[in-house]
């Protein structure tokens, strides 16, 4: 049992690290792409505000991941730990691969699919109603962010160019880009820390508050070591971002994700920021969007819950051949 506890914690660190590596771009990638911040400055801010979001509001979604998909707290303790280890392993494998390919996928989709796959493999009760609700929210996440981004860009553009003296536009916009990016980092930490810690809290290895701190530190490690990779994709490869576009996209993404977080719904901050950037880009016309990179992203998005779920299912079935579970 002690070995299982150790493996749960190790895989929690691995998932947290992969989240930090892949999802750091969701917070200030737009600011880097619009040349407001350097990569180093962005990573420092993401580390600080991502951890604060995880610490203060990470418990909302942690409960959903830990108990809302497969009731880990109601399973045999040993079985629940195997589910936690396998699900975390499957999610981590897929996220690491996507990060290597510089694709901003959803770590939320990955862990949800992995938990469901492990639950099916063991014959545990999967809460399909909750999965359906989460899936519907997944569809609306990028769409809602795109709408917010489109609206915010039009409003902010009119406000700045009509009512703010021209000499003050640039410094004010730059300050707001940094502030809104920190808000994105906060909401990201609040929503995504559950992807690393939900299964840890669900099996009772750590208390919810301790698991959130544990996951937050693991995410920080991922940001600092590999976070730069996907920042390049989000910051500059979807569309060329002007500073006021970056501000609108970050604000739209943060508001969008924060709403879902308060309801305890694990959504994709990757989908949210990419949707927001697309919505902002549409104000300038379809031609400014890079449809090749968007097509690759969408294919990865659609594949993520199924691939991580299949990995989880296969690993668990293989494990049962060697270990009595």
Q: How long is the chain?
A: 325
Q: Is the pLDDT of residue 95 over 80?
A: yes
Q: CB of 211 within 8 A of CB of 197?
A: yes
Please give the radius of gyration of the chain, using alpha carbons only, rounded to the nearest integer: 19
| pLDDT band per the 50, 70, 90 thresholds, residue 104 | low
| pLDDT band per the 50, 70, 90 thresholds, residue 21 | confident
The pTM of the full predicted model, rounded to 2 decimals, is 0.82
| pLDDT band per the 50, 70, 90 thresholds, residue 255 | very high
Nearest residue to 258 (alpha-carbon basis) of 189, 309, 177? 189
Instruction: Kindly give the interhelix angle for 77-100 and 2-23, rounded to the nearest 10 degrees.
Output: 30
Tell me the H-state helices in the chain.
2-23, 25-33, 39-57, 59-63, 77-100, 107-122, 128-163, 166-202, 208-226, 228-236, 243-262, 269-283, 291-322
Question: Which pLDDT belongs to residue 180?
Answer: 92
Q: Is the pLDDT of residue 258 over 80?
A: yes
Question: Which pLDDT belongs to residue 39?
Answer: 79
Question: Which pLDDT belongs to residue 175?
Answer: 94
| pLDDT band per the 50, 70, 90 thresholds, residue 26 | low
Q: Is the pLDDT of residue 150 over 90?
A: yes
Give the mean pLDDT of 92-99: 86
**φ and ψ of 251, to 5 deg:** -65, -45
| pLDDT band per the 50, 70, 90 thresholds, residue 102 | confident
Per the structure, the count of domains in the chain is 1
Question: Which pLDDT belongs to residue 286?
Answer: 60
Give the mean pLDDT of 111-127: 91
> CA 100 → CA 58, 104, 307, distances in Å?
27, 10, 16
Which pair of structure tokens corresponds to residue 116? Answer: 């469901």
Least confident of 4-18, 50-64, 92-106: 92-106
Nearest residue to 93 (alpha-carbon basis) of 299, 310, 294? 310
Buried/exposed 78-103: b ≥16 CB within 10 Å, e otherwise: eebbbbbbbbbbbbbbbbbebbeebb
- pLDDT per position as a tens digit, 236-248: 555 566 788 889 9
Nearest residue to 309 (alpha-carbon basis) of 136, 70, 104, 71? 70
| pLDDT band per the 50, 70, 90 thresholds, residue 52 | very high
Question: Range of 189's domain?
Answer: 2-322
Question: Which pLDDT belongs to residue 93?
Answer: 92
Question: Which pLDDT belongs to residue 300?
Answer: 75
Q: CB of 288 within 8 A of CB of 281?
A: yes
Please state, for a pLDDT cut of 70, what percent of the chain lies above it. 91
| pLDDT band per the 50, 70, 90 thresholds, residue 116 | very high
- pLDDT per position as a tens digit, 65-90: 877 899 888 888 888 999 999 999 99
Least confident of 43-57, 140-154, 207-221, 228-242: 228-242
- pLDDT per position as a tens digit, 281-315: 888 766 656 666 677 767 877 889 999 999 999 99
């Amino acid at each position: 049992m002690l070995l299982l506890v150790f493996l749960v914690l190790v895989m929690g660190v691995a998932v947290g690290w992969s989240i930090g590596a892949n999802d750091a771009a969701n917070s200030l990638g737009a600011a880097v792409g619009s040349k407001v911040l350097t990569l180093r400055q962005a990573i420092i801010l993401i580390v600080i505000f991502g951890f604060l979001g995880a610490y203060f509001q990470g418990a909302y979604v942690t409960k959903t991941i830990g108990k809302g998909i497969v009731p880990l707290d109601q399973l045999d303790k040993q079985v629940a730990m195997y589910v936690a280890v396998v699900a975390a392993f499957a999610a981590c494998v897929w996220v690491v691969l996507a990060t290597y390919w510089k694709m901003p996928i959803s770590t939320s989709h990955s862990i949800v699919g992995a938990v469901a796959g492990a639950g099916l493999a063991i014959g545990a009760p999967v809460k399909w109603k909750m999965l359906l609700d989460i899936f519907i929210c997944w569809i609306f996440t990028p769409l809602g962010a795109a709408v917010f981004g489109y609206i915010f860009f039009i409003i902010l553009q009119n406000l700045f160019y009509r009512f703010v003296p021209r000499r003050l536009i640039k410094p004010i916009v730059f300050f707001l880009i940094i502030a809104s990016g920190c808000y994105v980092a906060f909401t990201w930490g609040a929503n995504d820390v559950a992807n690393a810690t939900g299964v840890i809290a669900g099996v009772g290895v750590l208390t919810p508050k301790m698991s959130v701190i544990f996951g937050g530190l693991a995410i920080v490690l991922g940001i600092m070591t590999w976070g730069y990779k996907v920042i390049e994709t989000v910051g500059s490869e979807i569309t060329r971002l002007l500073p006021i576009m970056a501000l609108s996209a970050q604000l739209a993404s943060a508001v969008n994700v924060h709403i879902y977080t308060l309801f305890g719904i694990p959504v994709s901050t990757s989908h949210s920021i990419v949707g927001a950037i697309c919505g902002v880009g549409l104000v300038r016309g379809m031609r400014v969007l890079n449809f090749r990179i968007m097509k690759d992203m969408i294919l990865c998005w659609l594949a993520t819950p199924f691939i991580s779920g299949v990995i989880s299912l296969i690993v668990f079935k293989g494990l049962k051949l060697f270990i009595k579970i």
